[in-house]
Amino acid sequence: MLQNKVVLITGASKGIGKAIAILFAQQGATVIINYLHSEDSLQQTLQEIKTICPTAIAIQADISKADQVQHLFSEVKKIFGRLDVLINNAGILKDNLILKTEEAEWEAILGTNLKGTFLCTKEAAKIMLLSGGKIINITSVMGLFGNPGQAAYSSSKAGIIGFTKTAAKELGPIGITVNAIAPGLTETEMISYLTIEQRERLLNQTILKRIGQPQEIARVALFLASDLASYVNGQVINVDGGMT
């Protein structure tokens, strides 16, 4: 479904990003993994993907920093000459009540989650101007209905939804579609801190009564990245077991 497509996935050393990278490589894409930390996870992921896609590479960059994002995309253009799909997946989470949230925490979360999405979309669009492309943003159901202790996180994810809809209207006329996926409770390192009680509470809000798997998010990303979604633009697809 993605034969000969060049795909950049931010935050792809583990979790949902890793699942997307592996599935896309299996579907014929040349995969570029962006990462910041987690060197051990990165090497393991890259080895797995290279068995499927020998041309896969990894590029380190902090997507909250404009100069590093510009370098990331200049490397992509220099090495591959094109970019067909961007997955804005990188994100961070730190729970805290509003009254206890420090300004630095707020700025770090919005810097990676929301500003990073903006910076990467801007640079990707420059490369995609002539040939078109697809941009897929990973938001969250928490951006739709909020959650106690996640003011910064839910604000950043709600911002991604608004950004997706505006970018879809600006970039659609030049052949670039922009859509978003809003995962619900998904089995990644990001939820490893949850207590049994917290998991149960979230599961009780999920109609299917189970935690989603990263591969289930990846399959929806594959649809949006493929020609099957050629007329889909400006949409937010909830992949949450019925939570919303």
The answer on pLDDT for 145 being more than 80 is yes
Gap between the terminal Cα atoms of the chain: 29
Give pLDDT, residue 56. 95
What are the backbone angles phi and psi of residue 23, rounded to the nearest 5°?
-65, -40
Domain residue extents for the chain: 6-239
pLDDT the model gives residue 195: 76
What does pLDDT average to over the chain? 94
Rounded mean pLDDT of 64-83? 98
Q: Out of 3.40.50.300, 3.40.50.970, 3.40.50.720, 3.10.310.40, select the CATH number for domain 6-239.
A: 3.40.50.720
Total-model pTM: 0.94
pLDDT at position 199 is 79
CB 105 within 8 A of CB 96: yes
State mean pLDDT over 199-228. 92
What is the strand order of the sheet 6-9 is part of? 57-60, 30-35, 6-9, 85-88, 133-138, 176-183, 236-239
Q: Is the distance from CB of 157 to CB of 143 less than 8 angstroms?
A: yes
List, for residues 90-111, the tens digit of each pLDDT value: 999 898 999 999 999 999 999 9
Average of per-residue pLDDT across 63-75: 98
Give the percent of the chain with pLDDT over 90.
82
3-class secondary structure for 160-173? HHHHHHHHHHHHHH
Overall average pLDDT of the 26-41 stretch = 92
| Contact residues for 88 (Cβ-Cβ < 8 A; gap 6+) | 10, 116, 117, 120, 121, 135, 136, 137, 138, 160
- As annotated, the active-site residues are 153
- 213 torsion bin: left (phi>0), alpha (psi -120 to 50), beta (else): beta
Give the tens place of pLDDT for each residue, 152-210: 999 999 999 999 999 999 999 999 999 999 999 888 877 777 778 877 888 888 899 88
Ranges of beta strands (E only) in the chain are 6-9, 30-35, 57-60, 85-88, 133-138, 176-183, 236-239
Residues 135, 140, 143, 145, Cα dihedral to 10°: 140
Q: How large is the greatest C-alpha to C-alpha distance in the chain, in angstroms?
A: 51
* Cα–Cα nearest to 195, from 95, 74, 128, 90: 95
